[in-house]
Amino acid sequence: MARLVATEAASSSQTQPRAATVSANTSVEALDTKLGMLSVALGLTAGGAVFPPLTLLGLPVYLYAAGPMITNDLYTSLVKERRVSMASLEFALIGLMLGTGHIFAATLGGFLYLYSKKLILKTEDQSRKALVDVFGQQGGTICVQRDGVDTMVPIEAVEKGELVVVNAGEIIPVDGNIVDGMAGIDQHVLTGEAQMVEKEVGDPVFASTIVLTGRLLIAVEKAGAETAAAQIAEILLQTADFKMSMHSRGEAIADRTALPTLTIGSMGFLSGLSPIAVAALMNANFGYNMRVLAPITMLNYLKQIAKRGILVKDGRAIELLSQVDTVVFDKTGTLTQEQPHIGHIHTVADYTEEMVLRFAASAECNQTHPIAKAILHAADVWGLDQLPVDQATYTLGYGLVVTIGQQRVHVGSPRFMETQHIPIPPTLQEIQQASHHMGYSLVMVAIDHHLAGAIELHTTVRPEAPTLVKQLRQHGITSIYIISGDQEEPTRRLAQSLGVDDYFANVLPENKADLIKALQAEGKTVCYVGDGINDAIALKQSQVSVSLSGASTIATDTAAIVLLDGTLAQLDHLFEIAQHFEENLRRSLWLTILPGLVSMSGVLVFHFGIVFTILLNQVGLAAGMTNAFGRLDIQETHDTTIG
C-alpha cells in the first residue's frame, strides 16, 4: 500500500540530548596519564616481593592514580544511576585485596579497570563536537555585486539585502530571491526532489542547492545560521541523541555480571570463607576480560573495515547492525545517481530521433552539467558525430542557442522555449504533462524557431541497487522502505522495480525523522541509508545511519557509517561484517567464561588463591585476545583499499 505523506511540517517535542560527562579526547588523555602512573605502581609493587619497602612506595601512587576514578564511578552508578556496575565489584575486590595485603593484585586490578575504560572510550563516537559548518564544502568567500562590481567577500560578512552572484556549477550560499537571471537548480540535497527546478526573477532560492545551468543575481534574505540548511543543523543539535544512552556491548555484559558476583562473594563470606578466598572467588568474574576484549575486537574490526573503504565513526553502530530488521533508503542521491539517462526521444514533423539527439549533443558539447553529460553519453552510444558549432549564445537560464551551419538551434526546457517565443505543438504539450506526472524531465530541441523534438530524461537507478535488496533479505532484513521528497509516481515505480515493501512519497525533511520514529514505535530496529541535508535528521534518529561518499557535509558528519567508495555495494559487506563481529564476540565470551568457571570451582573445591585466579584470568584474556585479533574473511567484490 502506498503511503503518501502530506507536505505540511509536523511539530514534535524535542528532548535535550544527555550531555556527556566529559570530553572523550580529554578522558583518553587523562586515562593515559593515570595508566602511566599505574605502570610505575605495578613495577614498584612487583619489586616489593624482593624488597618489601617498594610496595609501600607503590601503594600511594596506586591510590592516587586509580582511587578517585573508581570511587567516582562507584558514586555515579550507585547514587546517580541507581544500579550495580563493575565499579561496585572493583571497589569491593580492591578493598579485600588491600585489606589482606595483596597490593600487587590490587594494583593490577586497578590498571586493567582503567585500561578497559580507555578502550571503551576509543570505540565510542568521538564526534560529539559541534556539527561541521554546512557551507564548509564551498570555501570561505562568495561573490557579491556592490555598485555594479563583482567582489569576493567572506561568507560571514554577507548581510541581508546584498546581491550575491552564483554561476552554473556553484552552490547557492544564502536563502534569497532572484532579482536577475534564470537557472535550472538541483534542490534534491535540501528537499529530495529528483527533477531540476527552473527558477526566474522573483522566485525564492535556498542555501546549499546547486545551480546546474544559468547565472543568478540573488537578493539575500537569510545568510549563515538563519538559512534553511543551517536550521536543519540546529534541529540536529536539539534532537534526542539515541546513541548517547547506549553502553558498549562489553561494558554492558560486564555490568550485568557485577551483582551476581557480589552476591556469590557475600554468600561465600557468610558460609565461612576467608576474606582472601572471597576475593579469589570474586576475581573469577569474566566481566573484567570482556570489558577489555569487546573494545579491542571493535578496534580491530574498525581497522579492517576501513581498509575495505568503509568509515565507521561510532563503533556501536556495528554492534547494533546485527539487530537491524528494517532498512530505509532515501531515493534521490542514494538509490539513484546524479546523472540521468535518456528515455524516449519524441520527434516533430520529419525530424528523426537521431537528428534531434545529434543537434542536442552538438549544442551541449562544451557543457559539464549532468543533463549535458546524459545527452552526450547517449549520442556516443548511438554512434552520432557532433556537428560543428559556429557560434554559441548561452542564454543563461533554461537553455542555450547555437548556430550550426545555417541553422539556429535552441536546446532547453519547455519554459525556455516559451521565453524564446517558440510555439510548442499540442502533442508535445501532452507529452510534457505526462512526463511531469511520471517524474521525467524534458529537454526540447528547436531548429530555426520550430520544435524538432523533445528528449526524455529519466532518473538513473544505481546498478547495484536491485542486487543489494536481495542481499539484504538474505541477511535477515524483513522490511525495506523508500522515503522520498519526490512525487508519488516515480517513487512508486522505483519501489515496485526493486521489490521493496513500501514507500513514502512527498516527504518533507522534518517529516523523515517522524517516519523513522513511527517504525521504531512498531518495534523495528532501523538502519537509514541516505545523503543530503534533508536526510540528516533521519540519519540522527535511526539506530544505525549510513551515508555515501560525496554526500553533503552535514549528512557525512551525522551518519555513524560512511561508504567511501560512493556505491551501495559495500552495504552488503557491512551487514556481513556485523554478523562476523557478533560471532567473534560470542567466541570471546566463552573463552573468558570457561577460565572463570574453572577459577570459581578451584576456589570452592581446591582452595585456589588470588594469584591462581589472576593467572587463569590472564589465560582467558590471552585466548580472547587471539580471537579478537582474527582477520575478517569476507570476499571482496572490488578493491576499495584506502591509504
Rounded to whole angstroms, the Cα distance separating 145 from 163 reads: 5
pLDDT, tens digit (0-9, with 9 covering 90-100), for 30-76: 888 999 999 999 999 999 888 989 988 999 999 999 888 888 888 88
List the one residue out of 134, 149, 130, 133 whose CA is nearest residue 206: 134
**Model pLDDT, residue 257:** 86
Packing angle between helix 509-521 and helix 228-238, nearest 10 degrees?
30
> Distance between CA 17 and CA 10 in Å, rounded?
20
CA dist 617 → 31, 41, 263, 397 (Å): 23, 21, 20, 72
Q: How high is the pLDDT of residue 163?
A: 93
The DSSP output letter for 564 is T
Distance CA 95, CA 101 (A): 10
Q: What is the residue extent of each domain of the chain?
A: 24-127+242-308+576-628, 138-226, 314-332+461-563, 341-458
Q: What is the pLDDT of residue 596?
A: 84
pLDDT for residue 380: 95
User: What confidence score (pLDDT) does residue 153 get?
Assistant: 86
Would the pLDDT of 131 be above 50? Answer: no
Mean pLDDT of 577-584: 89
Query: What pLDDT score does 235 carry?
Result: 44
Determine the Cα–Cα distance for residues 123 and 28; give it in Å rounded to an integer. Answer: 11
Res. 186 pLDDT band, cuts 50 70 90: confident
C-alpha grid cell, residue 29: 588523555
pLDDT(26) > 70: no
| Residue 328 Rama label (left phi>0; alpha psi -120 to 50; beta) | beta
For 525-537, the pLDDT digits (tens) are 999 998 765 677 7
CA 206 to CA 208: how far, in whole Å?
A: 7
Residue 25: strand, helix, or coil: helix
Residue 615 carries which side chain, given as an amino acid letter?
Answer: L
Asked if the model's pLDDT at residue 194 lies above 80, the reply is no
Predicted confidence at residue 164, as pLDDT, reads 94
- Could you tell me which of 68, 427, 100, 93 has the C-alpha nearest to residue 284? 93
More confident residue, 628 or 469: 469
Residues 6+ apart with CB under 8 A from 584: 297, 301, 627, 628, 630
- Residue 487: pLDDT band (50, 70, 90) is confident
- Each residue of 319-352: pLDDT tens digit? 889 899 999 998 888 898 888 999 999 999 899 9
The set of residues, in sequence order, having a beta carbon less than 8 Å from that of 288 and lying 6+ positions away, is: 86, 109, 112, 113, 116, 254, 617
Residue 431: its pLDDT value, please? 93
Position 244 scores a pLDDT of 36
Phi, psi for residue 151 in degrees, rounded to 5? -135, 135
Q: For residue 493, which amino acid is it?
A: R
Same fold, 138-226 and 314-332+461-563: no
Contact 640, 564 (CB under 8 A): yes
Identify whether the C-beta of residue 394 lies closer than 8 Å to the C-beta of residue 368: no
In percent, how much of the chain has pLDDT > 90?
Answer: 30
Cross-strand bridge partners of residue 219: 163, 177
Helix (H, G, I), strand (E, B) or coil at 132: coil
The per-residue pLDDT for range 594-612, each reduced to its tens digit, is 888 888 888 888 888 777 8
Helix H or strand E encompassing 98: helix 86-99
On the question of pLDDT at 195 being above 60, the answer is yes
Which residue is listed with cell 609493587? Answer: 45
Q: How far apart, in whole angstroms, are the C-alpha atoms of residue 114 and residue 297?
A: 17
For residues 581 and 544, the answer to whether their CB atoms sit within 8 Å is: no
Beta bridge partners of 185: 197, 211
pLDDT of residue 231: 55
What is 314-332+461-563's CATH number? 3.40.50.1000
- Look at residue 395 in the predicted model and tell me its pLDDT: 59
**191 versus 247: which is more confidently predicted?**
191
Please classify residue 251 by burial: count the beta carbons closer than 10 Å to its beta carbon, then call 0-12 exposed, 13-18 middle and 19+ buried: buried
* pLDDT tens readout for residues 427-484: 999 999 998 888 888 999 999 999 999 999 998 899 999 999 999 999 999 999 999 8
DSSP one-letter code for 565 = T
Query: What pLDDT sits at residue 242?
Result: 35
Residue 564 above 90 pLDDT? no
Backbone angles phi, psi at 217, to 5 degrees: -115, 115
* Single-letter residue type at 121: L
Q: Is the model more confident about 310 or about 244?
A: 310
| pLDDT computed for residue 515 by the predictor | 93
What are 545-555's pLDDT values in tens digits?
A: 998 865 555 45
Burial per residue of 293-323, b for 16 or more beta-carbon CB atoms within 10 angstroms, e otherwise: bbbbbbbbbbebbeebbbbbbbbbbbbbbbe
Pick from 438, 433, 458: which is nearest to 345 by CA?
A: 458
Per-residue pLDDT for 504 more than 50? yes
pLDDT averaged over the chain?
80
Angle formed by the axes of helices 465-474 and 569-601, to 10°?
A: 20
Q: CA–CA separation, 308 vs 635, rounded Å?
A: 11
> What pLDDT score was predicted for residue 45?
92
Nearest alpha-carbon partner for 509 in 173, 10, 175, 4 = 10
Query: How many Å apart are CA 83 and CA 254, to the nearest integer?
Result: 13
- Residue 334 is given by DSSP the state I
For residue 24, what pLDDT is reported?
A: 42
Secondary-structure percent of the chain, ordered helix, strand, coil, rounded to 5? 50, 20, 30
Do 634 and 577 contact (CB within 8 A), yes or no? yes
Q: Quick one: DSSP state of residue 387?
A: P
Question: In CATH, which superfamily holds the domain spanning 341-458?
Answer: Calcium-transporting ATPase, cytoplasmic domain N (3.40.1110.10)
Residue 308: CA count within 13 A, CB half-sphere:
25
The pTM of the whole model exceeds 0.85? no
What is the distance of C-alpha 142 from the center of its chain?
29
Query: One-letter amino acid identity for 326?
Result: T
Which of the residue ranges 433-437, 568-572, 614-618 would you say has the lowest mean pLDDT?
Answer: 614-618
Query: Three-state DSSP class for 171?
Result: strand
SS3 543: coil
How distant, in Å, are the alpha carbons of 9, 165, 222, 595 from that of 206?
Answer: 17, 14, 9, 62
Which pLDDT score, from 0 to 100, does residue 529 have?
Answer: 93
Residue 602: per-residue pLDDT: 86
Enter the CATH code of domain 138-226.
Answer: 2.70.150.10
Cell readout for 473 is 533479505
Residues 6+ apart with CB under 8 A from 149: none
